[in-house]
């Protein structure tokens, strides 16, 4: 488990960029934290780090899963509006796991069974004003290597 304090949105973005540079096909990153904790903000950084065109990330859509094409294919999912595993099944999300894409999944705690066996869990917490505390925990060999590379 690694913990970092992020004093500003820019710091969160920079940390996201670094993760985006490191992601490989098949990586799964679950993002947990209250509304406004910075999950989406971090994902924007990841998308930048993975060379996803800005227009893709900015595009408004009501889908649960957003495909991005960067250095590698990425899926950005938000489970906030889902209630159970059946919902998830209906979205087609489960078919995307373990493919040649990396997955970034907000509100993973809403449907914990959405996570594969190996994944990186990132939790963001408000810490007053613009400060946030990010905790990252790896489950599995590749996620542990990813976490080491990310946090140094």
Ligand X SMILES: Nc1ncnc2c1ncn2[C@@H]1O[C@H](COP(=O)(O)OP(=O)(O)O)[C@@H](O)[C@H]1O
Binding residues vs Mg ion (CB under 5 A): 39-40, 106
Minimum CB separation of residue 12 from ligand X in Å reads 3
Which residues, in sequence order, are CB contacts of 33 under 8 Å at separation 6+? 39, 123, 124, 125
Q: Which of residues 128-147 bind ligand X (CB under 6 A)?
A: 130, 132
The answer to whether 13 and 124 have CB atoms below 8 angstroms apart is no
Print the binding letters for residues 15-34 with ligand X: x by CB under 6 A, - otherwise.
Answer: ------------------x-
Closest to ligand X by CB, 1 or 35: 35
**How far is residue 75's CA from residue 67's CA, in Å, rounded to a whole number?**
5
Site for ligand X contains 110 (CB under 6 A): no
Copy the structure tokens of residue 8.
């500003």
37 binds, among ligand X, Mg ion, none (CB under 5 to 8 A by kind): ligand X
Helices (H), 8-119: 9-22, 39-49, 54-58, 85-91, 93-96
Residue 22 binds which entry of ligand X, Mg ion, none, CB below 5-8 Å type-dependent: none
Interface with ligand X (CB under 6 A), residue from 19, 23, 37, 104:
37
Nearest residue to Mg ion, by Cβ distance, number only: 40
For residue 147, with 0-12 CB atoms within 10 Å meaning exposed, 13-18 middle and 19 or more buried, which class applies? buried
- Closest to 103 (Cα-Cα) out of 35, 33, 34, 19: 19
Does 41 sit near ligand X (CB under 6 A)? yes
Q: By CB under 6 A, name the binding residues for ligand X.
A: 6, 8-9, 12, 33, 35-41, 106, 130, 132
């Amino acid at each position: 488990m690694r913990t970092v304090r992020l004093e500003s949105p820019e710091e969160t973005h920079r940390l996201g960029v670094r993760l985006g540079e490191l992601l490989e096909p098949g990586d799964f990153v679950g993002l947990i934290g209250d509304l406004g904790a910075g999950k989406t903000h971090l994902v924007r950084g990841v998308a930048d780090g993975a060379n996803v065109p800005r227009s893709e990330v900015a595009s408004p859509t009501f889908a649960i899963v957003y495909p991005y094409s960067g250095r590698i294919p990425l899926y950005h999912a938000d489970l906030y509006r889902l209630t159970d595993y059946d919902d998830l099944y209906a979205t087609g999300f489960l078919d995307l796991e373990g493919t040649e894409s990396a997955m970034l999944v907000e509100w993973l705690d809403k449907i914990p069974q959405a996570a594969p066996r190996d994944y990186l869990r990132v939790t963001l917490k408000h810490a007053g004003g613009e400060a946030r505390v990010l905790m990252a925990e790896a489950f599995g060999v590749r996620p542990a290597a990813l976490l080491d590379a990310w946090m140094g």
